[in-house]
Structure 1
Amino acid sequence: MKNKLYKVTFLNHSKVYELYARQVAASGLWGFTEIGELVFDVHDGLVVDPTEERLRDEFGNTRVLHLPMQSIIRIEEVERKGQSAIRDAATGEKVVTPFPLPAKPR
């Protein structure tokens, strides 16, 4: 049987998070949804996506994430992993910006 993959979109501190996970189920905690086996891109050396790195720093050691049902915007079963994201809830703009450019010499 092929491992299922879910894209989970939820609100967290006025930000919209988009994560990927292998397990989604009703939680044993009343009013929560259980998200397990979070999936992150693995890159050795150079950081390719700062958003992915930030999400891995925040959730990398999380075995199971229990999200309040009212914070979940959508759960989609997908064929393959896309780009994880953190967006401003009001504007939809990505929160993590690319690496800063070097300052101009004076």
Structure 2
Amino acid sequence: MAKTLYKVTFLNTGKVYELYARHVASGALWGFVEVGELVFDLHDGVVIDPTEERLRDEFGNTRTLHLPMQSIVRVEEVERKGQSVIRDAATGEKVVTPFPLPAKPR
């Protein structure tokens, strides 16, 4: 039997994050939700999703996220993993910066 998979959508610094995890529960810390066993795509090929890579860099070594209840937008139980994304909270557009942008000369 396959383990349950959750899609967790939450607010973080003006952005909406969508991550996938195997464990979601009300935490021992009052007012927080525990999100653990984060699931990331393992890319063996040439094509790499910059958003997935950014999320893996930020949360790759995290055992458990303790998210404030107020930041949780939605928790969904899903059949399979989709694409993890970061969106702008105001516009809903994906936030992707594949390459560093050069600074404007002053």
What residue number does 1:68 align with? 68
What residue number does 2:16 align with? 16
What residue number does 1:51 align with? 51
1:98 CA drift (Å): 4.4
Give yes or no for contact 1:9–1:74 (8 Å, CA) kept in 2: yes
SS at match of 2:18: strand
Distance 2:29 2:96 in 1: 31
- The percent identity for this pair of structures is 82
Give CA deviations for 1:49-95 in whole Å, capped at 9, x if unaligned: 00000000000000000000000000000000000000000000111
TM-score (norm 1): 0.89
1:47 CA drift (Å): 4.9
TM-score (norm 2): 0.89
1:44 CA drift (Å): 2.8
The number of residues matched between the two structures is: 100
Q: What's the RMSD between the two structures over aligned residues?
A: 1.5
SS at match of 1:56: helix
Tell me if 1:25 matches 2:25: yes
- Which runs of 5 or more residues in structure 2 are unaligned? 101-106
Counterpart code for 1:40: F
Counterpart code for 2:61: N
Distance 1:18 1:5 in 2: 13
- Which runs of 5 or more residues in structure 1 are unaligned? 101-106
